[in-house]
Amino acid sequence: MSRVATTELPSEVVIDVGPLSAADVVAVARHGVPVRLSDEAVEGISATRQVIEDLANDTVPHYGISTGFGALATTSIPREKRAQLQRSLVRSHAAGSGPEVEREVVRATMLLRLSTLATGRTGVRLETAQAYAALLNAGITPIVKEYGSLGCSGDLAPLSHCALAVMGEGEVRVGDPAAPESDAGAPVPAAEALAAAGIEPVQLAEKEGLALINGTDGMLGQLVLAIHDLRTLLATADVAAGMSVEGQMGTDDVFAADLHALRPHPGQAASAGNLRKVMAHSAIRESHRTDDCTRVQDAYSLRCSPQVHGSARDSVDHAALVADRELAAAIDNPVVTLDGRVESNGNFHGAPVAHVLDFLAIIAADVASISERRTDRFLDVARNHGLPPFLADDPGTDSGHMIAQYTQAAIVSEMKRLAAPASVDSIPSSAMQEDHVSMGWNAARKLRRSVDGLARVLAVEVLTAARALDLRAPLQPAPATAAVVALLRGQGVQGPGEDRYLSPEIETTVDLVLDGAVRAAAESETGPLA
């Protein structure tokens, strides 16, 4: 399945000591843009490594350098076993299970770990950081499994599977990261893939195993990708709502700017502005303007769309603020400070990311819920203002979009379940040393399903509203909504008629929603939507 596209991609992403942008993450993870370490990052990594080398020669134990990990932190490790210690750490922690995680998620995870390595605060060797860049540029993606992270002490199992591949162990997939994931080849041994790409497997030294697995990179990568997608999906939700209000003979008067200024939430104002643009110059709307006084007001699912969509927008903005802060973080334990100390800390705890991941699943479910309610109104002759039952060609013989709404309802029900927060749960681990965890990875996994569900629910609304607008002929819809209808028809999504195999048309519309084409069609008439 396609995903919301980035219109302009850089030729490369330079990884410096400062933070990556969210756009950088999407470009590398989803579109295969190559990466390069900056000269400053190379110098910083090399300088900090010397601190670790000096501590490795110290007679005083230092966590992660000359001791065991977690509940075994008091166990001193002799020098001749320290390389084995790092290898054993990665091997034992690469204990994931379940379905394979998506390629873009794994690439985002590796990129963000590399970004932290480039800060010079982890103490890895330069060749280790360069190996991560080499794997990304070669299209080598470690196979990571669904389960294994508690979102505390980092995304341990997912990051360990990535580190294992850099060591030349485990399994990977090789292919163009910008190609459809369905085109990915069969799993191959990491050693074989690295050899074919001319990449030397890394032999881990003191602290490196710990530095490669101790971060929030997996959950953060999924947060960044979700925010990117939700921004286009929420604009598309405004387009879908405009089509529904128009198709159901609703009023756009309630979207007036002065009304929304009375409640100054920025997202609400933006959504109302989008709805005004989408419905502008609609002959369908003008046809009943004098009848508005008899109806008094539209149902909440039509009238309150800006309030619901707007609140979701504001929540995404807050999540983006958290993501930007996390992108600027250097997370490791222990961490090498700017003045050369090596200190234990708790920055690996995923709570800040987990909380907003859960929050976004809630708003995705609510936007999907109001979309399903708008769709349902089209199908009921008591509420659709003169359209045939279920928008069927021959009601009784034909069922129209009856079951398409069932599909929406099933997805919305699942999304409501996914909206239950993961971050309120905690299961102690590591012999009670890690006695409170964030479950942020779980929050990220369910948010990905929620984002996909929202796209599907919006697609059914767009599909249904387009059919209703056609049924309003000879009245002409607004130029923006007409452009969306024309897009669907041009992609093989047929207009009104007798019942046909509907699933392919739904899937086509889902793709047009996900890749931003529905939004772009409306914007061809409105100009940029907020």
Q: How many residues does the chain have?
A: 530
What is the side-by-side order of every strand in the sheet holding 140-142? 140-142, 171-174, 188-189
DSSP code per residue over 85-145: HHHHHHHHH---EEEEPPHHHHHHHHHHHHHHHHTT-S---HHHHHHHHHHHHHTEEE--E
List the structure tokens of 310: 């707007």
Q: How many CB atoms within 10 Å of residue 523?
A: 19
In 3-state terms the chain splits into helix, strand, coil percentages (rounded to 5) of 60, 5, 35
Name which of 186, 178, 245, 235 is nearest 26 in CA terms.
178
In this structure, what are the phi and psi dihedrals at residue 177, rounded to the nearest 5 degrees?
A: -65, -20
How far CA 504 is from CA of 103, 299, 459, 509, in Å, comes to 25, 31, 12, 9
Sign of CA dihedral 113, 119, 123, 124: positive
Contact (CB, 8 A) for 522 and 241: no
**Cα atoms in the 13 Å half-sphere on the side-chain side of 309:** 33
Task: For residues 351 and 349, give the distance between their C-alpha atoms in angstroms, rounded to a whole number.
Answer: 6
Catalytic-role residue among 63, 147, 300, 406: 63
Name which of 127, 81, 136, 128 is nearest 104 in CA terms.
136
Active site residue 147: no
Task: For residues 458 and 241, give the distance between their C-alpha atoms in angstroms, rounded to a whole number.
Answer: 9
List the structure tokens of 44: 């910083």
Contact (CB, 8 A) for 282 and 525: no
Would you name the residues annotated as active-site residues? 63
